[in-house]
Amino acid sequence: MTAERGDRGKRGERGERGEQSTGTVLVVDYGAQYAQLIARRIREARVHSEIVPYTTSVADMLARDPSAIVLSGGPSSVYAPGAPAAPEGLFEAGVPVFGICYGFQLMAQAMGGVVARTGTSEYGGTALAVTPGPSALFSGLPDQQLVWMSHGDSVTAPPPGFSVTATSTGTPVAAVEDLSRRLAGVQFHPEVGHSEHGQAVLERFLHNVAGCWADWTMDNVIETQVGRIQAQVGGKRVLCALSGGVDSAVAAALVQRAVGDQLTCVYVDHGLMRLGETEQVERDYVASTGVDLRVVRAEAQFLEALAGVADPEQKRKIIGREFIRVFEQAAREVAGTEGSVDFLVQGTLYPDVVESGGGSGAASIKSHHNVGGLPEDLAFELVEPLRELFKDEVREVGRQLGLPASIVGRQPFPGPGLGVRIVGAVDAYRLDVLRRADAITREELTRAGLDQSIWQCPVVLLADVRSVGVQGDGRTYGHPIVLRPVSSEDAMTADWTRLPYDVLALISTRITNEVPEVNRVVLDVTSKPPGTIEWE
């Protein structure tokens, strides 16, 4: 760290034990999706992190030899019946611990502090006052700073041995430290971007209190994953579910780095892609990687299976089922010429796992064909080298592997394609309408130079909704199109992007002029939460 530190910060620089650690930081998930954001922020500090459920025993945590443990926030009150408790024996185990929000309250309560229902809640931006004196968490930071709070209960008295290092108007104990035991906690959320010095506070815990080395890089990830892939696959054949998107492209490049020509990529043209994307995959990805690519034309098969199905979860599962069946046939064809295929590569990311209910304490928001919709009789063993990574980390891996910017910079696109951007049943007519509207939107956003300032812009067809319009001096009864521009860092949270009005007006005019089936264009201005990025 470059900021000056007080005496306590100097003593904590390598931890009380005078040592630095290259191990993993465990994030204990108490049911809030912010647990994933905490893990991501720790990785941004170049320290490896993993998430474990709050039901994990201390013995199991210590068996993983963690360099530190972070207790996440959560929706519960420490006083609620059945509320998750602090892991028994954790604070006496000698491992550095950092409590955040609910995790901070658990720490305070378990160690003899007081947590009270004061009747004063704090939500959103809150002024934090750093108390005078040396501090490992706040050394070199402003005495007054804005942080993000979200709590009803408050710590009103610190546990014995802890010093109070910050307060707010509604929280007399907003941060504490006990460097002799390498323990600290904060009531606010340092992992959230609205906490203006939150990342610095988190890094000060990692480096000044826990003594973690900042040595986890994407180079290390590549090296580790290549070794894992080689150990898993051996000398056998591998198929990759290549979609042309960032995730599958990077996964394929990583597997290719590990096993070379044992990999065959299969691109399934399921008829649900955007305008020109199949041709782009065939041209650009092969040119940049030299991978063995097989293209399977399966539009008729998918549309037949989707006929009349409007439920979004059912659509996802059907697409996943047919997707795998196509791969099984492709595997048989590859096996007929090159030997049996035992492994299937997928570009599953950590947010996919979380939103499919695979993250500890998280509800299933939607199923993905590459996570929650696989058939029980799957004929392949899965290879998922990106399963623990966030999107920005995947892009960096792609850059390290030498993939071109046109691939690693591509905006996210769902595996089920336009099938989940049609609200209602999917058919060839509706896909054609949506493709043309989507192509216009992407063209104008690119022309305006906005590709890199938004996370993505889903274009949604409300297929089962009609609205009255006037086109060509006549009354029309056409479809509405929804524009969903969003900004995000990792897809866990997102806000709608404030696009220039002239760009929105141009997109709307072009769509209603050039796609006669559409007579209304609307803008989705919902953040995530409460809304998801995709409509289905």
Q: What's at 384, amino acid-wise?
A: E
Give, as one character, the DSSP assignment of residue 494: B
* Coil vs helix vs strand at 28: strand
Q: What's at 370, amino acid-wise?
A: N
Residue 186: strand pairing partners: 100, 175
Q: Where in the sequence numbering do the catalytic residues fall? A: 101, 189, 191
Q: Rounded to the nearest 5°, which phi and psi values hold at 445?
A: -65, -40
Please give the Cα distance from 102 to 73 (Å, whole number): 4
Please give the Cα distance from 100 to 188 (Å, whole number): 7
Angle, nearest 10°, between helix axes 501-514 and 428-447? Answer: 150
Q: Which residues have a Cβ under 8 Å from the Cβ of 154 and sit 6 or more positions away?
A: 115, 116, 118, 120, 170, 171, 172, 173, 187
CB 359 within 8 A of CB 400: no
CB 196 within 8 A of CB 147: yes
Q: Is 31 left (phi over 0), alpha (psi -120 to 50) or beta?
A: left
276: tokens are: 């020109």
Please give the Cα distance from 466 to 479 (Å, whole number): 5
Which residue from 409, 493, 500, 488 is spatially nearest to 454, judged by alpha carbons? 488
Q: What's at 228, amino acid-wise?
A: R
CB 345 within 8 A of CB 239: yes
Which residue's structure tokens are 């108007």? 169
